[in-house]
Amino acid sequence: MAVVEVSIVPIGVPGTSLSTHVAKVLKVLKESSLQYELTAMGTIVSGDLDEILPVLKRMHESCFGPEVTRVLTQIRIDDRRDRKGTPEQKIRSVMDKLTDR
């Protein structure tokens, strides 16, 4: 199971707010059946990598438009095959050890 973080930034659009563009891109993810969570620095998607990557590609494509001709996309994949690790389990595993100390 893979946990993947994606961040998509359009270049050359006026104004410092990117939220309209982020929302447009997230619409593609929302219409998929993938589990995701929004963070302040990107979106975390979890599931089968073979299902996730095509959706990320569509998200990237959806960012382009009449006024968007350059897009920077960053994808970070944490792919663990020795055991199933959901995003929640990853966080809990750290939190448990943090509390011990």
Contact positions toward its own copies, by CB under 8 A?
3, 5, 7, 9, 11-20, 22-23, 26-27, 30, 37-42, 44, 46, 49, 53, 57, 60, 64, 69-82, 87-88, 90-91, 93-98, 100-101
Cα–Cα distance, 79 to 28 (Å, whole number)? 22
Query: At its nearest, how many Å lie between its own copies and the CB of residue 57?
Result: 6
The candidate with the shortest Cα–Cα distance to 63, out of 98, 11, 100, 16, is 11
Query: Based on CB atoms, which residue is closest to its own copies, 34 or 90?
Result: 90
Query: Based on CB atoms, which residue is closest to its own copies, 34 or 73?
Result: 73
Which tokens sit at 18?
């990117």
The candidate with the shortest Cα–Cα distance to 89, out of 29, 46, 34, is 46
User: What does the CA dihedral 35, 85, 43, 57 come to, rounded to 10 degrees?
Assistant: -70
Query: At its nearest, how many Å lie between its own copies and the CB of residue 81?
Result: 5
Query: At its nearest, how many Å lie between its own copies and the CB of residue 5?
Result: 4
